[in-house]
A and B are shown apart, each in its own frame.
Chain A
Amino acid sequence: AQSVSQHNHHVILSEAASLELGCNYSYGGTVNLFWYVQYPGQHLQLLLKYFSGDPLVKGIKGFEAEFIKSKFSFNLRKPSVQWSDTAEYFCAVSPNNAGNMLTFGGGTRLMVKP
């Protein structure tokens, strides 16, 4: 079975700082990769996804992620965070041969100080 690790459980940044959240997965086959965000009191929302093609994917709100197959990683980045980015961020993986079963990482709580 696949597993997903997010190494940073809590991150605190000041506004305008750059963000990188790590995500590594373990699975031997082809995977689909997602980042979801959960703002305080809101539902999970899709930030971006990777299925194939260009390993650098751009999502909403200025976020991007890079798939590095050799490192089994899909790190999330944003050049300059805003206070409104305060949220919990989940990386998720779906094996390509297993329907649409999502396995989530443990999540990273991001706090951006104004």
Chain B
Amino acid sequence: DTEVTQTPKHLVMGMTNKKSLKCEQHMGHRAMYWYKQKAKKPPELMFVYSYEKLSINESVPSRFSPECPNSSLLNLHLHALQPEDSALYLCASSSPGRNQPQHFGDGTRLSIL
């Protein structure tokens, strides 16, 4: 089992809905990440939080809004998504620093109707 917990595991939502993805880790990691993985493609980095501050935003549309309320939690708020946003959303965490391996959650499989 992974030490990074993501909820929900599956989410189906309409284009006008607002929903949130949640990620939790208790390894004491101070860096947390959101990735998007389309079918048969590698994960693509979306956001990086370091010490609860957003440090990297890889030009992600504003309909995705990350939040890091404390050092153990990472949220991804979703609003007005498009069908092409359907994907597996992965959360990861690591110790801060250049060469720290990232620990991944199982992901949330998101489908936009």
Contacts and interface: CB of A to CB of B under 8 A. Distances in A.
Interface of A: 32, 34, 36, 42-46, 49, 51, 90, 94, 96-107
The listed residue with most A CB atoms (<10 A of its CB), out of B96, B102, B103, is B102
Contacts, number: 62
Contacts of A105: 42
A99 to B, nearest CB: 6
Contacts of B4: 43
B107 interface: yes
A96 B100 CA distance: 11
Q: Tell me if A's interface is mostly helix, strand, loop or mixed.
A: loop
The listed residue with most A CB atoms (<10 A of its CB), out of B42, B92, B105, B107, is B42
A39 B44 CA distance: 19
Contacts of A94: 98-99
B50 A101 contact: no
